[in-house]
Amino acid sequence: MAREYITANFAGDVSLEKISSICHCNSSYLSCIFKKKTGQSISEYVNTIRISRVKLLLWVSHMTVTQISYEIGYNDSGYFSRIFKKHTGMSPETFRKRMNRKK
């Protein structure tokens, strides 16, 4: 249930507290079970879902990186760029340039 909620609401409130209330369980218990089943913490899972969406938007849209960061739930474009680079090894701008060369 937690994964489905995150996938459907990744750009909104996906805090541990919100997810645990949706799942009707304690947040510590949810964190433990989620990590066991997925191999990722809830925040890692949220970031993975968001980065997947960002890659698509960088490839097919003309939105700025800042617009994309807000669109997918990051309120700080600098933080978003750091997370993106951590996941992909490159900045969002570099990723977009590489994808555009492949078109």
Alpha-carbon distances of 5 from 21, 32, 34, 70, 87, rounded to whole Å: 11, 17, 13, 19, 22
Taking only the tens place, the pLDDT of each residue in 34-52 is 999 999 999 999 999 999 9
Are the CB atoms for 49 and 55 separated by under 8 Å? no
Could you give the angle at the alpha carbon of 66 between the alpha carbons of 22 and 45, nearest 5°? Answer: 35
- pLDDT tier at 101 (50, 70, 90 boundaries)? confident
Write down the pLDDT at residue 17: 94
Alpha-carbon distances of 11 from 26, 69, 89, 101, rounded to whole Å: 23, 9, 22, 28
Taking only the tens place, the pLDDT of each residue in 6-44 is 999 999 989 999 999 999 999 999 999 999 999 999 999
Taking only the tens place, the pLDDT of each residue in 86-96 is 999 999 999 99
pTM for the structure as a whole: 0.86
